[in-house]
Chains A and B, each alone.
Chain A
Amino acid sequence: MIAGTVLAEMLREMGITHVVWLPDSTLGQWETALDSAAEFKLIRVAREAEAWAVASGLFLGGARPLVIMQCTGLFDSGDSLRNATIDYELPLFAIIGQRNGFNPEVRDSARDYAEPLLRAWGLSYRTIARPDQLSELSTHYKACQATRRPGAILLVEGGA
């Protein structure tokens, strides 16, 4: 598991101004670190589909948002995500937790449909399964911003 303080430091280096999120039990362990960071604000939403719209508004206003949610939230996000990244071509970026990614023996459609859905929505993504792969977040974010493409990190998780 990536430590929240390590992630927060990377987000600071990336110039992220707002983290828009709805956590799960894995991502939620970052809450204290993300909420206490001075360089960016943590914005909580009631439903994941909102997160893309809040991030869109932030982006249009000149901020540098990052969306964080579990893959079940990605499934909920469809129309909002489509509108922002396809209709308006906004290069939004997210960390998506892949529930039960480390537990292939567990029957979980959320895990199985995460990657097909990322591809379906045209999100260029990289997978992070270990803390030593965290630099991929910064690298891929910068690449997506440079080419104005929406993108994501698929973060492999244990349970819910």
Chain B
Amino acid sequence: MPLVTTLQALRAVRTDRQAVLTTMSAAREWMRLQPPVVHPLDLIYAPSAMGQLPAYGLGLALAQPDKQIIIFNGDGCMLMNLGVLTSITAAAPPNYVLIVIDNGVYEVTGHQLTVASPNARRGAGVDWPTVARGCGFQSVFSFSELADWQAQLPEVLAARGPTFVCARVQPMPGGEVPKSPAYPPDRIAAFAKAMQRSV
């Protein structure tokens, strides 16, 4: 399914109790969604430490249990730090939703194949739902059709977390590295202020 409409579907239903954390291609496209509205609970994780966004989300979910934390992570990012899946399920915040954007490539650096890409393995790629269940996630979803994602999104967001979602999307041609939309320390301080505000 297309990345942009996958993100658009979430943005159409997100509320002021939901923080949305994005990285890599999801961050780039989240900033480009139309109309261009920056929500105070949006965290564009750029600059990033690749693989660490789910852990940021875990800390936020534990500190702010009344807000739902929704994380869009890349499959390459997920592979870089798979162990965090067990850290998440050990702490088990019910307000945590991890969505892995699975396109099989490092899109922002020029579409090189990830080690888990079906094209790099001459066969099936990683079975993310099985990995998630094996690491202890109870609420697990997988989507490869946009209509299914759009239809079941309310169920995904209502499930008791921690929730894992695999979203199989097509790589976008000409993908580039997302840039921080403002000075990172100022931006993250504003995000923290918004996170700590009651809604």
Tell me the A residues contacting B by CB distance below 8 Å. 17-18, 20, 41, 43-47, 49-63, 65, 79-80, 82-84, 87-90
Contact present for A45 and B55 (CB under 8 Å)? yes
Contact present for B195 and A62 (CB under 8 Å)? yes
A41 and B62 contact, Cβ closer than 8 Å, known pairs A50-B52, A50-B87: yes
Contact present for A54 and B58 (CB under 8 Å)? yes
Number of B residues whose C-beta is below 8 Å from A? 31
Chain B nearest CB: distance from A92 CB in Å? 11
A59 and B59 contact, Cβ closer than 8 Å, known pairs A44-B90, A87-B184: yes
Chain B nearest CB: distance from A88 CB in Å? 5
Chain B nearest CB: distance from A79 CB in Å? 4
Contact present for B192 and A18 (CB under 8 Å)? no
What CA separation (Å) do A55 and B90 show in the bound complex?
16
14 A–B contacts from the bound complex (CB under 8 Å): A20-B59, A43-B58, A43-B91, A46-B84, A50-B55, A59-B59, A59-B63, A60-B59, A60-B192, A62-B192, A62-B195, A80-B52, A88-B185, A88-B188
Contact present for B184 and A88 (CB under 8 Å)? yes
What CA separation (Å) do A57 and B56 show in the bound complex?
4
A61 and B64 contact, Cβ closer than 8 Å, known pairs A46-B83, A55-B59: yes
Contact of A50 among B47, B61, B84, B195 (CB under 8 A): B84
Chain B CB within 10 A, most for which of A17, A58, A60, A62: A60
Contact present for B184 and A47 (CB under 8 Å)? no
* Residues of chain A within 8 A of B184, CB atoms compared: 87-89
* Residues of chain A within 8 A of B191, CB atoms compared: 60
Contact present for A53 and B55 (CB under 8 Å)? yes
Contact present for A84 and B49 (CB under 8 Å)? yes
Chain A nearest CB: distance from B119 CB in Å? 27
Contact present for B48 and A57 (CB under 8 Å)? no
Contact present for B56 and A56 (CB under 8 Å)? yes
Q: What 3 A-B pairs are tightest by C-beta distance, nearest first?
A: A57-B59, A61-B63, A46-B83
